[in-house]
C-alpha cells in the first residue's frame, strides 16, 4: 500500500491504528482512498489493503 507517497509492505493496516501512531486527530484530517473521499464515519472500521493508495490531508489553522 502507498500512503502519502510512502510505500508500506503490509497486507492490511487498520486505518485508525495508523492515525493514532502518527498522532493525528480524525477531526482535522481528510482521507482519499483509491481516488475517492472516505467519510469520517467509515474511519473506525476501515482496513487499508495491500494495493490501496491513500492520501491523508491534515488541516492546519492559521491567519
Q: Give the whole-angstrom CA distance, residue 49 versus residue 14.
A: 9
Q: How many helices (H) and strands (E) does the chain have?
A: 1, 7
Give pLDDT tens digits for 9-33.
999 999 999 999 999 999 999 999 9
Q: What is the pTM of this model?
A: 0.88
pLDDT band at residue 47 under the 50/70/90 scheme: very high
Amino acid at each position: 500500500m502507498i500512503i502519502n507517497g510512502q510505500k508500506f509492505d503490509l497486507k492490511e493496516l487498520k486505518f485508525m491504528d495508523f492515525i493514532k501512531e502518527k498522532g493525528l486527530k480524525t477531526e482535522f484530517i481528510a482521507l482519499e482512498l483509491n481516488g475517492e473521499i472516505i467519510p469520517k464515519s467509515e474511519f473506525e472500521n476501515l482496513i487499508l489493503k495491500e494495493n490501496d493508495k491513500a492520501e491523508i490531508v491534515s488541516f492546519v489553522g492559521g491567519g
